[in-house]
Structure 1
Amino acid sequence: MPPTISSSLLSDNLTALGLSADTLFFALNYDFTPPEAKGIKKRLKQNQGAIDIDIACVLYDDNCTIDDMVWFKQLRDKTESVRHQGDSLNGKDRGEQAMYHAPLDQEQIRLYLNHIPAHVSHIGLIASSYYGQPLAKVKEGEIHLSDDEGNRAFEVNLKQLPRDCSAIWVASLRREVDDWHLTLQNLPLADNDLQKAAQQVAHELARALPIPQAALI
């Protein structure tokens, strides 16, 4: 099992990282933590329940335009190459086997890379606090990426994220000729709304695209 990563740079192709390029599991586990509400905040919706963290997988084309998105409102993409195993609101709704430190992930998205449509060049992996509470407010928790043989590429400790971070671009995958290249991003996002967060990731991906040679002439 790899060490917990909070901000270290990790960028390499899946084969070099020891991962199978067939199936990946993007997963979330954390100890469901009631927020600390005081005064009038006790009456606000975002402070009435436990912290609710969601994960999403966003598919982008060559121009970094959103092609499809898998999250709690859409559990599969159009080709069913990316599949969300179901949203968890409090951990208990997934059964005892899916509580923190239990055998099963509380939330998991499966990526069947061999079936990702050819026009998809980038995949963004995002996590967000539904009510906008900081991700680091959990008692303990982590996000990880692994393959179907149990090999893990990374683990991100939620407690080590910035205090005001309520949404994060965890990692990205970029299609190569015969493999996928994984980059651990750990970039806090400005909006915890997953659709808006996906747009911000699109902007960041576009900024990193190489400038066409014709534009340099």
Structure 2
Amino acid sequence: MAINLEKGQRINLEKSNGSKLQNICVGINWGAIEKKGLFGTKKEAVDLDASCAVYDEKKNHIDSVNFKQLKSNDRAIIHSGDDLTGDLNGDDGLDNEVITLDFSKLSASANYVAFYVNSFRGQDFKDIPFASIRIYEGTPTKVNEEFARYDIANDATFSGKVSMILGVFYKRNDEWKFNAIGVATSDKKLEQTIVTIQQNHL
């Protein structure tokens, strides 16, 4: 049963049978903006970017995965590719971008893996008709078990913002856990969000 994530919530990475998750996917699904005009409604493409930043025990930034770099240096984290439009014909229920993470392949120096979302063209989160992020076990094309979901389109605190920090996987006693952050930021660029996470959320 998936948890609807709340800010500050910490969850253990356990499957329903009690075993630990080794492979997870973070998927983002969103829609194009509908604009009403004189001749009916037209669709405005939305380019959200799912990204991930890796930090070591001392909170130094050591790797990134995003639309510019689709694989981490240790090949543990893989991005499905850049979606420039969102769902143009309503919610198809599928993720537009997916980042997969294999904990067993992560570099030993990795202590934090943070996920965040930026609106590339600066389109306000409040104008996007639907946008949700989910964390699940499986592959980009097959969901085995969804265990957390975050609805960003219906959160009033995201109004006027163009980037948000989903949360951070962190290592404690050689076990990985997840801290749901769900905070909107004023960052306009990926590089700024990496620093914001480093300073405030690890």
Maintained 8 Å contact 1:70/1:83: yes
Maintained 8 Å contact 2:3/2:147: no
Maintained 8 Å contact 1:34/1:51: no
Maintained 8 Å contact 2:31/2:91: yes
Which residue matches 1:213? none
Alignment deviations for residues 37-73 of structure 1 (CA, whole Å, 9 cap, x no partner): 9xxxxxxxxxx95221111011001111110000000
Deviation at 1:4, TM superposition (A): 4.0
Maintained 8 Å contact 1:138/1:159: no
Number of residue pairs the alignment of both structures matches: 190
- The amino acid that maps onto 1:203 is Q
**2:100 is aligned with 1:101:** no
Which residue matches 1:215? none
Unaligned runs of 5+ in 1: 38-47, 207-217
- The amino acid that maps onto 1:33 is I
Distance of 1:185 and 1:204 partners within structure 2: 11
**2:83 is aligned with 1:88:** yes
Distance of 1:55 and 1:138 partners within structure 2: 15
Q: For the structure 1 residues 3 and 118, does the alpha-carbon distance in structure 2 shift closer, same or farther, using more than 3 Å as the test? A: closer
**2:71 is aligned with 1:72:** no
TM-score of the aligned structures, taking structure 2 as reference length: 0.83
| Alignment equivalent of 1:188, drawn from 177, 184, 197 | 184
**2:22 is aligned with 1:22:** yes
- Aligned identity (percent) is 19
Give the secondary structure class of the aligned counterpart of 1:55: strand
Q: For the structure 1 residues 176 and 35, does the alpha-carbon distance in structure 2 shift closer, same or farther, using more than 3 Å as the test? A: farther
Q: For the structure 1 residues 68 and 153, does the alpha-carbon distance in structure 2 shift closer, same or farther, using more than 3 Å as the test? A: same
Deviation at 1:124, TM superposition (A): 0.6
- The amino acid that maps onto 2:70 is L
Which residue matches 2:154? 159
Which residue matches 2:197? 201
CA RMSD between the two structures: 2.7
Deviation at 1:144, TM superposition (A): 1.1
Distance of 1:200 and 1:84 partners within structure 2: 22
Which residue matches 2:102? 112
Give the secondary structure class of the aligned counterpart of 2:111: strand
Alignment deviations for residues 115-146 of structure 1 (CA, whole Å, 9 cap, x no partner): 11110100111011111222121111211111
Deviation at 1:19, TM superposition (A): 7.6
Give the secondary structure class of the aligned counterpart of 1:25: strand
Distance of 1:8 and 1:200 partners within structure 2: 17
Unaligned runs of 5+ in 2: 38-42, 139-143
Deviation at 1:150, TM superposition (A): 2.0
Which residue matches 1:144? 134
Deviation at 1:34, TM superposition (A): 5.2
Maintained 8 Å contact 2:23/2:137: yes
- Considering only CA atoms, is the larger Rg found in Structure 1 or Structure 2? 1
- The amino acid that maps onto 1:83 is I
Alignment deviations for residues 62-113 of structure 1 (CA, whole Å, 9 cap, x no partner): 11111000000000011110000111001479xx9xx7324x4210000011
Distance of 2:188 and 2:24 partners within structure 1: 24
Distance of 2:35 and 2:193 partners within structure 1: 23
Whose helix fraction is larger, Structure 1's or Structure 2's? 1
Distance of 1:156 and 1:64 partners within structure 2: 28
Structure 1, 148-157 or 109-118: larger mean CA deviation: 148-157
Which residue matches 2:167? 171
Whose strand fraction is larger, Structure 1's or Structure 2's? 2
